[in-house]
Structure 1
């Protein structure tokens, strides 16, 4: 499985992050609409999650499995991705087999700084969030951790409200 170092925080306004992204020299990539359907996962492992991500009204879809502890600090996530050709059929199959835990609808702006994906998310019924994912690919663990901390510092994420759980958990808590 691949590894990310992740951090998520809720914020009052995403607007305040644009000057900080400029200070960081981050590069804007795209804005997409995503629907993440989370399924129940029977497991003894550390908070496993399985979701079907549909992007921009099913122009693209991915099945994503990941394991990540719930904690407010930066945390490691192990994940696997599989591109999906027929998401409608797969969603029906997984719904019948596992059941739907939650559906998360969001608009996501993707920015990049080296190996770090910076997400500016507006999540339906939850609000606005900043999420970092520093990918462990082509660099050492120390380099990845240093880059991740550098991004957190420049974006001043220590002044935000850290979020320990996934968007799906927040949706379930609200219902």
Structure 2
């Protein structure tokens, strides 16, 4: 065995250990680059996620504001004396409410973070319930809630969704600045 090792040229030893060292170095670099790429991909995904939510948040905020104003108008119209004008106005406002609800329903649920998803569903279902109730009564009945409850309900959820939206907007700005997107 000793004779075998003595018969190997020094260059062969250098090539063998050089190949091993080169392989280990290349493997280490590949692992390092893979980890860096995985981190970068995770940050890109987070930025994408935040951008989608912030866009959705703008739509939610506008539509909740519109819905609150429209329901307030409908409730005021219901207190008016019966007449063709009242019925026409209530139907126009209900059509606008349906558009608000349709806009909220068109938002991709994947864009709504889990932290406010329940609130988002509550707003949509509550709005749908009020529209249905008003439709059933053809404007002669009342909404599910009185005006004071209505304002409180929308204010509660708008505030919660707005504070969350502002927080995520700031997080997005920081990430965009940090990674220069």
Q: TM-score range by the shorter chain?
A: under 0.3
Which structure has the highest strand share of the two? Answer: 1
User: Which one has a larger percent helix, Structure 1 or Structure 2?
Assistant: 2
Q: What TM-score do the two structures reach when normalised by structure 1?
A: 0.26
Relative contact order, higher structure (CA 8 A, sep 6+) = 1
TM-score by length of 2: 0.26
